[in-house]
Amino acid sequence: MSSKVALLNRITTYIVNRKGKQMRPMFVFLVAKMVNNGNVSERTYRGAAVIELIHTATLMHDDVVDDSNRRRGFFSINALWKNKIAVLIGDYLLSKGLLLSIDNNDFDLLKIISVAVREMSEGELLQIEKARQLDITEAIYYEIIRQKTATLIAACCSLGAASVKPNSPDVEAMRKFGELIGMAFQIKDDLFDYGNEAIGKPTGIDIKERKMTLPLIYAVNNCSKKEKSWLINSVKNHNKDKKRVKEVIAFVKNKGGLDYAVSKMIAFQEEALQLLNTYPESEFKASLLLMVNYVIDRKK
């Protein structure tokens, strides 16, 4: 991470000291070990590093876009050093990640990562487009979360397999596994908007940002015409009204929106677990099972 620019070094030191759960690199290592009898290669380490670099870069850009001052319980880069610097640091991390692959001729890994970055951008833009119109179906919602969240976890898992067994069927099987985990992960995240537990984001924030999440989509599609227009109007025009947001949350709960979202999340989880069943028992598979269950059971 070191550079000749002192400002850059100061900021990267700040980032490295405030790392998050590092869940994505964990997926890279555990998948590589599961498909390759517990062995990893130099490529696995590089792949895990690239994923973390790119993930961190996207978070920085997200904080600028969302005008967010906190990240992982600390001040975000844009809060401390302003937007321009945060965008440039994000670009720097992105290029560092890409060059790490190119310099070592890991072109297959680079392709997996580049596809993920493209899809994440598309997913975010699709979500923004739909937030303006609020004409979102369940199918579009799945497409948004597949691109926005699941694609990066899918990249971690396929990368892990590709780093030790390039061109093997494991690469696609693990991509699918990661995608399913990512879908469950995002639905869990959306459910937090309706919960009262101490989590990283305040409740009702998705509604304030006019994000149509699964519980809300289900409620919209399973209520009377009058209720539907009230619901859409609330999200569109009264999303800053705390009392109204609370009413929307209560309405979605009463309509069974949360139960429906939970059932879908569990379905994605179970499909992912079936893919793991084809692999022999090992401590790495057991760890992956723990990770899958953590995604569903986490409290933040």
Q: Domains of the chain: which residue ranges?
A: 23-277
Q: Please report which helix (H) or strand (E) contains residue 75, including its range.
A: strand 74-75
CATH topology of domain 23-277: Farnesyl Diphosphate Synthase (1.10.600)
CA distance 136 to 79: 33
pLDDT tens digits, one per residue of 170-195: 999 999 999 999 999 999 988 888 87
Mean pLDDT, residues 255-265 taken together: 93
Length of the chain: 300
Average pLDDT, the chain: 87
**Which ranges in the chain belong to alpha helices (H)?**
6-16, 23-35, 42-66, 77-81, 83-103, 107-133, 138-145, 151-164, 169-192, 205-208, 214-221, 225-237, 242-254, 257-276, 283-297
Amino acid identity for residue 246 in this structure? K
Task: Mark residue 212 as left, alpha or beta (left: phi above 0; alpha: psi -120 to 50; beta: remaining).
Answer: beta
pLDDT number for residue 72: 64
pTM for this prediction: 0.86
Distances (CA, A) of 61 to 54, 131, 197, 206, 297: 11, 19, 27, 19, 28
Cα angle 219, 202, 58 (rounded to 5 degrees) comes to 95
